[in-house]
């Protein structure tokens, strides 16, 4: 298999949609001009590993989405949070994959079914059911969209989607180990994001709320060079 990238300045900068056709060696990827591309991978992501190795699917922590080729399959990697999904649209001899629900529907020439009144409820019920749920599809006018989060998804020549759960770090035994885990993770992700090997390196930006989590993470990120929130 091989990638053929069609980069467009009119698309959202970090959007992408891949099309895999049965029996075809070439995987066509339409993407915005900030998506990082190599001969055998692409990403709009940062992860706790070396950017030059292009192995985001092996990371313990990743923001954004990515894909990597092997000889006869493609592994699509989601973020390790529960909110950023990948959207799969299967047909008999083609499969579209995107980080955008709107993009995958446009590319597959489908749209929501206006006779289906339960989109909000179905979306929320799947979210509450968690990553081990059985039902992952949403009906559309012609076909269906399959939703995956917090996983690596391998697609082979038969267009079958195989889900692999993300690796997990060792469980911290005490506060010091937990603090070290968070610090190393933030350091790794920010180092990846700032890599000079990127076409567009990123500077860290934090968010601050009145809660606990966001200020705690920003205080850790500050020691790794984050100066803006």
> For residues 49 and 41, what is the distance between their CA atoms, to the nearest angstrom?
15
Q: What is the DSSP code (8-state) at residue 206?
A: -
Q: What is the pLDDT of residues 90-116, one digit of tens each?
A: 999 999 999 999 999 999 999 999 999
Whole-number pLDDT of residue 53: 86
pTM across the whole model: 0.93
Query: CA dihedral defined by 45, 131, 99, 139, rounded to 10 degrees?
Result: 180
Helix, strand, coil percent content, the chain, rounded in steps of 5: 25, 30, 45
Q: What is the pLDDT of residues 47-58, one digit of tens each?
A: 999 998 888 999
Whole-number pLDDT of residue 84: 86
Q: What is the pLDDT of residues 160-206, one digit of tens each?
A: 999 999 988 889 999 999 999 999 999 999 999 999 999 999 999 99
Could you tell me if residue 130 is left (phi over 0), alpha (psi between -120 and 50 degrees) or otherwise beta? left
Share of the chain above pLDDT 90, in %: 87
Residues 6 or more apart from 200 whose CB is under 8 A from it?
34, 36
């Amino acid at each position: 298999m091989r990638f053929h990238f069609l980069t467009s300045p009119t698309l959202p900068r970090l959007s992408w949609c891949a099309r895999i056709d049965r029996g075809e060696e070439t995987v066509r990827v339409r993407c915005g001009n900030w998506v990082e591309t190599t001969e055998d991978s692409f990403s709009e992501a940062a992860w706790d590993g070396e950017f030059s190795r292009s192995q985001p699917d092996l990371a313990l922590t990743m923001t954004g989405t990515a894909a990597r080729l092997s000889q006869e399959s493609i592994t699509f990697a989601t973020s390790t949070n529960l909110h950023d999904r990948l959207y799969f649209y299967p047909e008999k001899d083609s499969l579209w994959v995107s980080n955008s629900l709107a993009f995958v529907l446009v590319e597959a020439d489908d749209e929501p079914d206006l006779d289906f009144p339960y989109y909000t409820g179905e979306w929320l019920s799947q979210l509450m059911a968690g990553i081990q749920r059985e039902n992952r599809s949403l009906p559309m006018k012609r076909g269906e969209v399959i939703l995956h989060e917090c996983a690596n998804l391998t697609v082979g020549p038969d267009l079958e989607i195989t889900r692999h759960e993300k690796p997990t770090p060792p469980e911290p035994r005490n506060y010091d180990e937990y603090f070290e885990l968070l610090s190393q993770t933030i350091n790794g992700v920010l180092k990846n994001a700032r890599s000079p090997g990127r076409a567009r390196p990123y500077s860290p930006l934090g968010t601050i709320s009145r809660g606990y989590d966001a200020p705690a993470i920003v205080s850790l990120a500050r020691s790794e060079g984050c100066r803006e929130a």
